[in-house]
Amino acid sequence: MKPIDNLTYNCMAEMDWDDINHFDQEEFEHPDWLDRTLICTLDDLREYVGKPFIVHCDFEFRNNESWHSYGMAIDGHFEGIHPYDQYEAACRFDDFNGVGFYTWWQQPGIHVDTRPKAKIQHDARWCSVVRGRYQPVTAYNLRGII
């Protein structure tokens, strides 16, 4: 377990990978640094979508505001599925407290994370059509994207 302010999370252990059906450790750059809930929920998402998920980025030192720096975020894409549909599928899973979709990536896809949140907080949801610009997912914003 690693501390995050006053919170902790569980990293994947070697034996945890035995419970994962659709991913191997080799598909991740830093499998030992990843949050167990993140990987288990990603595995459930992969089962739900029924197509392979290609990991772009998992653990990565960025800054204190990135959940990648804590092993609690993954970027990637499902082949042959519009990024908005990937986003909609990911939003079905309660353990993903942060979900965004990116149309400007070379392989457009999603970010999912298991950031901690208080019960009264809303989940973080966003879209990005240009590097560095994030918008809430609203009907108005979606008209220009999909």
Residue 87 has pLDDT above 60, yes or no: yes
pLDDT in tens, 123-146: 899 999 999 999 999 999 888 777
Q: What is the model's pLDDT at position 2?
A: 45
CB 83 within 8 A of CB 100: no
Residue 85 CB burial class (10 angstroms; 0-12, 13-18, ≥19): middle
Question: Rounded to an integer, what distance in angstroms lies between the CA atom of residue 79 and that of residue 44?
Answer: 17
Q: What is the model's pLDDT at position 61?
A: 78
Q: Which amino acid is at 104?
A: W
Structure tokens at 49: 């979508």
- β pairing state of 7-9 and 53-57: unpaired
Domains of the chain and CATH, by start: 2-143 (3.30.1380)
Q: What is the model's pLDDT at position 66?
A: 86
> Partners of 54 in the beta sheet?
77
The whole-model pTM stands at: 0.90
pLDDT in tens, 52-74: 999 999 998 766 678 999 999 99
Question: Rounded to an integer, what distance in angstroms lies between the CA atom of residue 127 and that of residue 119?
Answer: 23
pLDDT in tens, 34-45: 999 999 999 999
User: Tokens 């298991």 belong to which residue?
Assistant: 114
Give the confidence band of 115 by pLDDT, cuts at 50, 70, 90. very high
Q: What is the model's pLDDT at position 135?
A: 94
Residue 96 has pLDDT above 70, yes or no: yes
